[in-house]
Chains A and B, each alone.
Chain A
Amino acid sequence: MYLRLLAIQGSWNYETLLGNGVGFCTEPALRLLPGGRGGDAYRAALSRQSRYFNAHPYLAAVAVGALARVELDGQPPARIERFRAALCGPLGSVGDRLVWAGWLPLCSLIALAAFGLGAGPGAVVLLFLGLYNAGHLALRAWGLTVGWRRGLAVAGALANPVLRRGPQHIARAAALVGGFALPLALYRAIGVGRVLSGAVLIAVVAGAVLLARLHGRVEGWRLALAALVAFVLYSVVRHG
């Protein structure tokens, strides 16, 4: 089940979202139901578990463990369906704040700081992957274990301090590292004199303030794409 969790989003789509992935991950456990693989209990449970489901892909491990457990415990189908529906919301929002808005940017910014301090390609890549995946793989393992152990009582696990307060602490750490990393990474990436780097840094601060004020109305990377097209055209025309 743990290895299957790594592919839980394999058939992600706009209609059932993670639904088929949850069925795919719980399937090995459902073979233990009376009648075995292909038996009536197996088929009924797999049908239930392959319907619409939404969660953060890493924290979906909590749901997979708990749902496999309640199926094997022989809970009534209606109760399992209510439990399954109740798991969706919290596992999505907590995971988004903890991982996508916290752990991932923090690890990325730490690697950018290492680059800014002069680390080479191997060191930067290994630092990023090692750090990120230590958290990633541990979170999936914890989720599956706690879900499997607690079954219907898994809601209490979501009160874990790491899930409740972790996003705040990680966001503060990422803010600190971000402030530190950006000028260092920029300076090394530009690779030329201090005067030009200083001018670029001032332009970056002004541009970032402007972009932050436009928050929600425009995506920075799209503006950047347009700016780069304009710069390439300018450069080619200037040559001609």
Chain B
Amino acid sequence: MTQTLADILPIALLGAVLGLDVVCFPQAMVSRPLVAATAAGAFTGHPLQGLLIGVTLELFALETLPFGASRYPEWGSAAVVGGALFGDSAPNVVGGLTTAALAALATAWVGGYSMVLLRRLNARWARTRMPLLDRGSGRTVIGLQVAGLTADLVRGGLLTALALLLLRPLSRLALDHWGASAASSRAFVTGVAATVAAAAAWKIFHSTNGARWFFIGGLVAGLLLLAIR
């Protein structure tokens, strides 16, 4: 099936804006998968599916928090891709969540690399303007900031558009030849995501005095609630 500009452009714009939020502006965490994938799902008319993949990706994203200069996947544009792909497929299509999550993870990986390239580009722009910065040029300071913001916006939009162009046909091809059952497909992807999240939670909290007991206490309460529901 061919994709038109009208199919891709709105989602690419959403990916651009939410990709910008990851680091540059305004870091309000609208780029978190929980929000970004739900928004993309809503764009395609399926907010509940967007939320479902958003939750799955959020579990993965708990492992990679945006610490300073560390390299991490770019979840904003990636979650938009995942939400749009899962929103495309009908709710009862077997394997839709799995292929959309895979597409989002791959996009997040490439997106992380694109942020590294952008940071190098920002450094090059700053280096070439160093004499002006040393003279205290206000126009240069503001210009560098605007250039960085614009480049990041373009980066997110291009990443989203290219990911959709490449991964949407691949995803449809895989779904047309899907052999695993609906239950195992969904259980596998959510189980893998929850495994990553549980290990990440442990990594984040285990060094805090008493936190492991709070975690175990919460786990017992959650399991008890599940048992009585």
Contacts and interface: CB of A to CB of B under 8 A. Distances in A.
Contacts of A176: 214-215, 217-218
A190 B187 contact: yes
Given A12-B148, A200-B190, A125 B65 contact: no
A224 B68 contact: no
Contacts of B206: 212
A232 B177 CA distance: 10
A172 interface: yes
Contacts of B146: 10
Interface string B200-211: 111111101111
Contacts of A228: 98, 101-102, 105, 189, 192
A60 to B, nearest CB: 11
Contact of B136 (A14, A47, A136, A167): A47
A44 B47 CA distance: 52
Contacts of A236: 174, 177-179
Contact of A207 (B24, B133, B137, B195): B195
A85 interface: no
Interface centre among A122, A173, A187, by most chain B C-beta atoms within 10 angstroms, is A187
A37, A56, A227 — most chain B CB neighbours (10 Å)? A227
B145 A24 contact: yes
Nearest to A57: B27
A225 B105 contact: yes
Nearest to B197: A182
Contacts of A129: 28-30, 35
A13 B122 contact: yes
A124 B185 CA distance: 25
A64 interface: no
A77 B127 CA distance: 23
Main secondary structure of the interface of B (DSSP, over half): helix
Contacts of A11: 122, 125-126, 144-145, 147-149
A189 B183 CA distance: 11
Interface residues of A, dominant DSSP: helix
B159 to A, nearest CB: 17
Given A7-B145, A24-B145, A236-B178, A121 B222 contact: no
A53 interface: no
Interface string A1-45: 000001101111111110011011001000000000110001111
Which one of B73, B123, B144 has the highest number of Cβ atoms from chain A below 10 Å of its Cβ? Answer: B144
A220 interface: yes
A104 interface: yes
Contacts of B34: 108, 111-112, 124-125, 128
Nearest to A47: B136
B191 A204 contact: yes
The 9 A-B pairs of least Cβ separation, nearest first, read A179-B218, A43-B136, A239-B179, A238-B179, A11-B148, A208-B198, A211-B199, A179-B219, A207-B195
26 contacts: A6-B27, A7-B149, A9-B24, A11-B144, A14-B69, A20-B145, A24-B144, A101-B204, A121-B38, A121-B51, A168-B208, A172-B208, A179-B218, A180-B222, A181-B222, A182-B219, A189-B193, A196-B183, A204-B195, A207-B191, A211-B195, A220-B200, A221-B64, A222-B109, A231-B189, A237-B179
